[in-house]
Amino acid sequence: MDLIRNYILEKKLIYKARKALPNSAFVFPEKRAYPIHDLAHARNALARVSQFGSPAEQATVHQAVYQRYPQMAKRKAEREPVKLAAHLERPGKYLNG
């Protein structure tokens, strides 16, 4: 059991460690999809759902991650003005045509 616990604490989940996670560690427990048991996996879940998820899945994963890790939502809000400032400094780069 200690071996499984060590793998859970690491970033890479092996089969036995993933199987040992409780259903509450997943965004979609019925499919056991998108584990968010730690911050690294929560970030990965956001990245993967942005690439491959439907809009409904994206909304569900975003809500689950930001609810479990409110500090991520705060950091996202802090980064938004930086993105807007970049658009204002170089508007021609972001315009079509």
- How many C-beta atoms surround the C-beta of residue 58 within 10 A? 15
pTM for this prediction: 0.67
Which carries the bigger pLDDT value, residue 5 or residue 52?
A: 52
36 three-class SS: coil
- The full set of domain ranges for the chain reads 2-70
Q: What is the chain's mean pLDDT, rounded? A: 81
For the cut 80, the answer to whether the pLDDT of residue 10 exceeds it is no
Per-residue pLDDT, averaged over 17-30, amounts to 94
**55, two tokens:** 């809009």
For the cut 60, the answer to whether the pLDDT of residue 7 exceeds it is no
Q: What are the helix (H) ranges across the chain? A: 2-9, 15-20, 39-52, 55-68, 70-89
Q: Identify the pLDDT of residue 87.
A: 56
Q: Per residue in 28-52, pLDDT tens?
A: 999 999 999 999 999 999 999 999 9
